Structure 1
Amino acid sequence: MKVHIYEVHAFTQDGQGGNAAGVVIQSEDAMLTEQQMLKVAARMGFSETAFVSESDMADFKVRFFTPSDEVALCGHATIAVFSLLQKLGRLNGRRDFVQETKAGLLRIKADAEEILMAQVAPDFGPILEPEEIFWSLGLSEDFQAAGLPVQIVSTGLRDILVPVSSLKALKEMQPDFEDIRQISEAHGVTGYHCFTLETGTSTGNPGQPSVTAWCRNFAPLFGIDEESATGTSNGALAAYLSAYGAVRGNDMRFVQGMWMNKPSLIKARTVWSSTARQAGGDKLEESGLVPNVPLDPEGAHENDIDTLGSKLQTVWVGGSASIKGETELEI
């Protein structure tokens, strides 16, 4: 059986960098088994490969596989899927879609420049002791950013968010992947999403506005030592930064993959239920900002992040993608 696979890079900047994903568009009369999907993902070797099929409850059903396991959701592969479908003319000029995933039914918006995906409602998990986490990164806990906790947060996949005090420390950390794998397994998370708010003024491109945070992501539990762009992790980061009052406003821009020579730009927007802001038209419409009031780290509760009576409802994550090639495998 031959399988046709597209290579699509998501969260690119000017068509460069980003994170590569495999995309397989399945026909109803040639559906792959779970073992075949895993075999394709392993042979292609991308951090994630997405398998698209018809859905009884949404516009498309998408399953995501790393080289070693299936995962419930993948942000960059979702951006890759809908960018590819758009370029192949499979979206028929529509802009609003729902995709079925193992993380639930999620909304998608597609336009000519970028794809936007709604995340699962934020879930704020336990705050962790920093010493073990920083030790596994080759750092002491003195490098933890002031006022921000090490915490498990999810907008689709659980990650440990690790606030680092400086860009230098983020760049020079020396992760012990076996330690990170064991800690991730013990806490039931995908991996670590490390970030610093010490960003400088831009992504390095004079045409780019200032960024919110620089990030690195480690997921050795799923066979990914480091990943150059992660949509779900940055969705969780946007929710976390907004809830703790670490940023002003609702729009954020995250840079990732810079030290992998795969510079990636991930955009995020938090949406609060008491505002008039909603997804609509060609872009997400703006109608004012919700003031951020820092939470007490000890008072963070799952699915109950309230700020001045406004609930953090969801996070949209988006970016651009480029098709880089296609191939066929015999399985």
Structure 2
Amino acid sequence: MSNVSLIRVFVRDGRGGNPVPLVVDAQGMGAAAMQAVAAEYGHESAFVLRSSIGCDWRIRFFVPQHEMEMCGHATVGTLWALRQWGHWTTPTARIETLSGVVHARWDDTLQRAWISQPAVRTQALDAQASAPVAAQLRLPTGAWTMTNAATSRVKTLVALPSVAMLDALQPDFATMETLCESIGSTGLYPYAIGASQADGRRIVHARQFPKSSGYPEDAATGIAAAALWGYLAGEGCLGNSPDASIAVWQGDAMGSPSEILVAPRFDEHGAADGCWLSGETAWGAP
């Protein structure tokens, strides 16, 4: 077994977060060996390799069931670890992933990495597609706003009226993969808009039920949070400020509280260019 370091990403107040088994030098490891690491630990795992396209690193991501194109929390955590080990010393970096090139910047003030995600793509679910999702989540009969949204993998956003309803969800996990396949999604991401923090950043509470990752719920899902921010910003739910950012609180129902920060990203001409994603990282298992 390769040398695996354990980190926790998107921790909140020193607790929780999403674990990442990390192999910092995976050169020579095959896909089967990488997937075996993910299966042993039961979490999204990251493997750092040399880039073949001129980026600073290439990162591969595996869950127990398969390889993923992109994993937000594993990228943020890997970059933080590379910084701690002295492997990353520049202000910015470029990461090769199966989802494309990810841009990163180091935040000296917060001592964390921010990574880029592209502009969100969205498609509203009609009543026919929404009905089985509502049944899957065991929601009461009614009209629910559901949207397939993606900055990399498609997640199905489900707007709920309260955090209490969100926390009380008990989905039908046995048929989650079939349901997600039927709507072209890799997971359900129900959410409820909460209060604002002291700095004015809006808190949005969320849960993630993946299609087929090998576990029923995810404590923190960076790319889903990025897609959620893009959708909410596009719908005008975050006000008119171009600097509007959110803190996504996830994992509470699992006893693993997480906080994912999402902020707008602009290109050199000041035009909107997707978002930045970040959060706190710590060493060790939960």
Q: In structure 1, what is the Cα distance between the partners aligned to 2:177 and 2:121? A: 22
Amino acid at match of 2:116: A
Q: Secondary structure at the match of 1:222?
A: coil
Shift of 1:49: 0.2
Q: Match of 1:318?
A: 278
Shift of 1:79: 1.0
Shift of 1:15: 2.6
What is the TM-score of this pair, normalised by structure 2? 0.90
Unaligned runs of 5+ in 1: 277-310, 326-331
Q: Secondary structure at the match of 1:20?
A: strand
Q: Match of 2:257?
A: 263
Q: Match of 1:139?
A: 139
Pairwise mapping of residues 244-323 of structure 1 onto structure 2 (< 5 A)? 244-248=235-239, 249=241, 250-271=244-265, 276=270, 312-323=272-283
Conserved 8 A contact 2:119-2:230: no
Shift of 1:241: 0.1
After superposition, the Cα gap between the structure-2 partners of 1:254 and 1:143, relative to the gap in structure 1 and judged at 3 Å, is farther
Among 213, 216, 227, which residue is 1:222 paired with?
Answer: 213
Conserved 8 A contact 1:184-1:191: yes
Q: Match of 1:119?
A: 117
Deviations 1:171-193 (A, max 9, x none): 11111112322111223321011
After superposition, the Cα gap between the structure-2 partners of 1:76 and 1:262, relative to the gap in structure 1 and judged at 3 Å, is same
Unaligned runs of 5+ in 2: none
After superposition, the Cα gap between the structure-2 partners of 1:188 and 1:224, relative to the gap in structure 1 and judged at 3 Å, is farther
Deviations 1:223-258 (A, max 9, x none): 231111111000000000001111123211111111
Amino acid at match of 1:85: L
Shift of 1:313: 2.6
Considering only aligned residues, what root-mean-square deviation do their CA atoms show, in Å? 2.0
Q: Match of 1:329?
A: none
Q: In structure 1, what is the Cα distance between the partners aligned to 2:254 and 2:199? A: 20
Conserved 8 A contact 2:7-2:284: yes
Deviations 1:69-95 (A, max 9, x none): 11100011111110111111111x212
Please say which structure displays the higher CA radius of gyration.
Answer: 1
Q: In structure 2, what is the Cα distance between the partners aligned to 1:107 and 1:141? A: 43
Q: Secondary structure at the match of 1:189?
A: coil
Shift of 1:208: 7.6
Among 72, 76, 80, which residue is 2:73 paired with?
Answer: 76
Among 91, 95, 107, which residue is 1:99 paired with?
Answer: 95
Among 30, 36, 41, which residue is 2:38 paired with?
Answer: 41
Conserved 8 A contact 1:239-1:312: no
Q: Does 1:184 align with 2:180?
A: yes
Q: Match of 2:233?
A: 242
Amino acid at match of 2:136: S
Q: Does 1:4 align with 2:31?
A: no
What is the TM-score of this pair, normalised by structure 1? 0.78
Shift of 1:128: 3.8
Q: In structure 2, what is the Cα distance between the partners aligned to 1:99 and 1:70? A: 17
Provide the identity percentage: 26
Q: In structure 2, what is the Cα distance between the partners aligned to 1:24 and 1:107? A: 21
